[in-house]
Amino acid sequence: MSSNSLYLVAIIAFANFLSTQGYICNTPDEWLFPTNNGTRSFRPWTKWPGGVVKYEFHSSLSANDRTEVQKAFNEYHQKTCIRFVARSPGEAAYVSIEVDNEVCGVANLCRTGGYQFARFGGSCRTSNVMVHELGHSLCMGHEQSRPDRDNFIHFPGCAANDIPGKDTSNDVLNSMYDFASQMHYQCYWCLGGYPRNTNVEKCGSDVTPGLSVLDANKLNEYYDCGGCHSYRFRNFQLLSAADRSALLPGGSDPYVSGPTYVCRGLHPSGDIIPGVFNIHSSTCYVSYGNVEVALKAGDALTNPKGVGFSWVQRPGTYIPSNAIAGGRTRQGETLYIGRSQISVNGQIATVPGKIHANFPGYAYFSYNGKEYKVTSFEILVCN
Ligand SMILES: [Zn+2]
């Protein structure tokens, strides 16, 4: 795993695309290219120290543009420890936020050390396009260019020139493929590919008007965020000894020795669903469609910095602002992490499960092959 880059974007593939297609305005697409103005060469793959990005509003921005950019900043400020801070005079490294109506969006990748830009234009002067561009500023590449993307999308009927290259040096932090990523192009359009999972109908900004749950997880990991952003979802097939000792206890099961833990798995429906992790069998049990589903691939929730996460009794029919987002449906609805006591044959198990953002009065748990829909449950929050 590369230590200093979350993604390396396939610059060359995009340069080729640019040369053959030219710019297309008013599409959700954008193109990346390295800055090479004068003597400054592109110096890629550098993080912003402490996750603090210095920015400047360019004079090309309208008042409405500034509002959209501020909304994009808020996405990062709410979901990650990344902070966008206005540049002080003389500070060398900064992102100039600009309008360029020749493109939908374009940005330099990572921190270049000098002037760099994040631009949107045409009908793309929206907060979600700016979230995407600023994702590039923070070193994120395109989800549909991941090395493993062929397992999830394909490009039938697309001209060869329209098929983006895979980023073989792309460090995806062992994360699940995320159709809902703001860094994923819209699907059913060549550059975004066609999902192999035919249950998945939408990708990228069509799903999430901002950072997806997994986008935020990846940024928080890449920038080593602390506090309430310090929890980490780890691929449970690849748990290190340190990961195992940091697993967040989720409950107990009379038929399982030791605690059970919190996990999330990619369900065949396309949902990423929080559930209960059995460490002995490396299985994530989730509830979906009235049944329990055993998933052999997914993440376990860890608390490596020992921050105070706790379970609180359902506070009413709303999601507390400090609740931990565990997953999402394929339509982009956030799934929070709950737990409840399930009594079966006189035995009581405490089982983690899912809470739908749009139906916070209920939670769903799976146990012993069945799904339980309950109104009395706890929700995982950060104190
Ligand atoms: Zn992009």
Q: How far is the CA of 342 from the centre of ligand 1 (A)?
A: 45
Q: Strand, helix or coil at 345?
A: coil
Q: pTM of this prediction?
A: 0.88
Largest CA distance in the chain: 75
Structural domains of the chain ordered from first start: 11-222 (3.40.390.10), 227-382 (no CATH)
Active site residues: 133
User: What's the confidence (pLDDT) of residue 54?
Assistant: 98
Q: How far is the CA of 158 from the centre of ligand 1 (A)?
A: 19
132 appears as a binding residue in the annotation? yes
Q: Is the pLDDT of residue 11 over 70?
A: no
Q: How far is the CA of 41 from the centre of ligand 1 (A)?
A: 20
> What is the full DSSP assignment across 107-147?
E--S--SSEEEEEE-GGG-SHHHHHHHHHHHTT---GGGST
Q: How far is the CA of 211 from the centre of ligand 1 (A)?
A: 13
Partners of 332 in the beta sheet? none
User: What's the confidence (pLDDT) of residue 42?
Assistant: 32
Percent of the residues in the chain that have a pLDDT greater than 70, as a whole number: 87
User: What's the confidence (pLDDT) of residue 45?
Assistant: 56
Those residues whose C-beta lies under 8 Å from the C-beta of residue 294, and which sit 6 or more positions away, are: 283, 284, 285
Confidence of residue 93 (pLDDT cuts 50, 70, 90): very high
Q: Is the pLDDT of residue 163 over 50?
A: yes
User: What's the confidence (pLDDT) of residue 168?
Assistant: 64
Q: Is the pLDDT of residue 36 over 70?
A: no
Q: How far is the CA of 182 from the centre of ligand 1 (A)?
A: 9
142 appears as a binding residue in the annotation? yes
User: What's the confidence (pLDDT) of residue 338?
Assistant: 97
Confidence of residue 169 (pLDDT cuts 50, 70, 90): low
Q: Is the pLDDT of residue 43 over 90?
A: no
- Residue 243 DSSP class: H
User: What's the confidence (pLDDT) of residue 28?
Assistant: 35
Q: Is the pLDDT of residue 199 over 80?
A: yes
Q: How far is the CA of 166 from the centre of ligand 1 (A)?
A: 14
Residue 251: name the closest of 144, 166, 363, 125 by CA. 363
Mean pLDDT calculated for residue range 205-215: 92
267 appears as a binding residue in the annotation? no
Q: Is the pLDDT of residue 26 over 50?
A: no
> For 121-255, where are the E strands, in sequence order?
153-154, 194-195, 232-235, 249-253
User: What's the confidence (pLDDT) of residue 382?
Assistant: 96
Q: How far is the CA of 145 from the centre of ligand 1 (A)?
A: 10
Mean pLDDT calculated for residue range 248-265: 93
